[in-house]
Amino acid sequence: MNIIDRRLNPQGKSLANRQRFLRRAKEQVVKAVRDASGKRGIQDIENGEKVTIAAGGVREPSFHRASQGGVRDYVVPGNKEYVEGDTIQRPDGGGGGRGSEGSADGEGEDEFRFVLSRDEFLDIFLEDLELPDLVKQKVKQSEAHSLTRAGYSVSGSPANLNLVRTMRNSLSRRIALKRPKRDEIRELEEMLREAEEAGEDAAQIQALREQLEHIVLRSRRIPFIDPIDVRYNRFESVPKPIAQAVMFCLMDVSGSMTEHMKDLAKRFFMLLYLFLRRRYRSVDIVFIRHTHEAKEVDEETFFYSTETGGTVVSTALEEMQKVVQERYPDSEWNIYAAQASDGDNMSSDNAKSATLLRDVILPMCQYFAYIEVAAEHNMGLSALGRETELWRTYKQVQSPERPLAMRRVRSRREIFPVFRELFAREKAGA
């Protein structure tokens, strides 16, 4: 018999296998994340979650019989009451009388569950969307500068003198150069005085006097505070993200907006939220939906209610204006707005909308994005093959100096490219 200790063998022999598995599963995880993000609310998107990946890409298929159908016999243990010919209620869900027959390896295939942390989730979500580039571009514009303490400097204004640091330097210099302390001088003077009063030996008095003279001279030569001790607080101007932002989601919910269109809009808003969320400490969202009249609503109602009516775009803009005045003074908040619409508007309202947008909304907004959602097979034009009412109206308002961007989206896969285009303002040549 041989007995061998293998405990010291290299551990993690399965590492290569695990890596192969993860590489394989990655695709599935990405897909699961994308699916999951479609199902959740805008504000939940930042929470990590359990992502279940379907057995799909990591499944190992084999020929085996189906679990249903046909005639099967099982032999099972533990009969208590049955006699031949008895019938048993079919157990639900495969428990009970199901025998060991089944796939050849006898092992069921569970789905795999990965729990992703918030960051992992976002990484994958964003990786899929290639967002990081965009963040870099935008950070520049969105920051205010503020002064932050950044160590000490040897020069500066007297107001910034750092007393503590200066004194500490002075003290260490004095100790290093052996500057006599005031107590020592006083003590020596005392001794000298006593010696003189006592009428001591002249030579001794002389020695004391010289000694005193020497240390006084020394203390004069080594100043209490030297210019080299002096330190000033140094400040640096550091870009600082602006603390708060509000995002207005404006959506046309008139009858012509299909579920598909709303889904596109939701995804767009989700991206916008994520994007803002990464730059601001707090992001508020205001959902405004409109038909012929506009209302501020919660997310659920915003996306899933089925109200319908005519379309008057200006009402939404007015509502937004009202909300800003009430709750979000533009001196304190960065205001963003995204409007999703299929482009229909009452012709009579166009002029009013344009004016509102140009004179009220755009001046207070950091950015206003208009996305026109369309049915998947639509070429982005109205039924008549022309640009939609709203598109034409907004186009008049659009100018290089106004923070207004407009894009059309027809399918999910266009959302991100469009989003990126919209926000890559510098490149677009605004």
Cβ count near 405 (within 10 Å): 21
- 82 binds other proteins per the rule CB under 8 A: yes
Instruction: List the one residue from 19, 141, 237, 396 that touches other proteins (CB under 8 A).
Output: 19
Nearer to other proteins, 91 or 132 (CB): 91
Candidates 9-17, 198-206, 270-278, 308-316: pick the segment binding other proteins (CB under 8 A).
9-17
Residue 408 has φ and ψ, to the nearest 5°, of: -110, 145
Candidates 92-100, 182-190, 239-247, 309-317: pick the segment binding other proteins (CB under 8 A).
92-100
Closest CA to 322 of 272, 356, 275, 281: 356
Instruction: List the one residue from 30, 43, 90, 201 that touches other proteins (CB under 8 A).
Output: 90
- How far apart CA 101 and CA 94 sit, in angstroms, is 12
Total interface residues for other proteins by CB under 8 A = 66
Residue 333 has φ and ψ, to the nearest 5°, of: -120, 145
Nearer to other proteins, 115 or 243 (CB): 115
- 76 binds other proteins per the rule CB under 8 A: yes
- 64 binds other proteins per the rule CB under 8 A: yes
Q: Are 288 and 318 in contact (CB under 8 A)?
A: no
Nearer to other proteins, 106 or 385 (CB): 106
Q: From residue 96 to residue 135, what is the string marking binding to other proteins with x (rule CB under 8 A)?
A: xxxxxx-xx-x---x-x-----------------------
- 377 binds other proteins per the rule CB under 8 A: no
- 68 binds other proteins per the rule CB under 8 A: yes
Least Å from the CB of residue 36 to other proteins: 20
Nearer to other proteins, 52 or 301 (CB): 52
Nearer to other proteins, 4 or 198 (CB): 4
What b/e readout covers 342-380, taking b as 16+ CB neighbours within 10 angstroms? bbbbeeebbebbbebbbeebbebbbbbbbbbbbeeeeeb
Instruction: List the one residue from 26, 59, 149, 186 that touches other proteins (CB under 8 A).
Output: 59
Chain centre distance of CA 393? 34
Sequence letter at residue 206: Q
Question: What would you report as the CA-atom Rg of the chain, rounded to the nearest whole angstrom?
Answer: 39
Nearer to other proteins, 78 or 199 (CB): 78
Cβ count near 26 (within 10 Å): 13
Q: Are 98 and 91 in contact (CB under 8 A)?
A: yes
Least Å from the CB of residue 140 to other proteins: 41
Cβ count near 133 (within 10 Å): 10
- 92 binds other proteins per the rule CB under 8 A: no
Q: Are 334 and 142 in contact (CB under 8 A)?
A: yes
Instruction: List the one residue from 65, 182, 281, 427 that touches other proteins (CB under 8 A).
Output: 65
Least Å from the CB of residue 111 to other proteins: 11
The two most distant CA atoms of the chain are separated, in Å, by: 136
Nearer to other proteins, 107 or 183 (CB): 107
- The full DSSP string for 95-130 is -TT--S-SSTT----PPEEEEEPHHHHHHHHHHHHT
Binding site for other proteins (CB under 8 A): 1-7, 9, 11-14, 16-25, 58-80, 82-90, 95-101, 103-104, 106, 110, 112
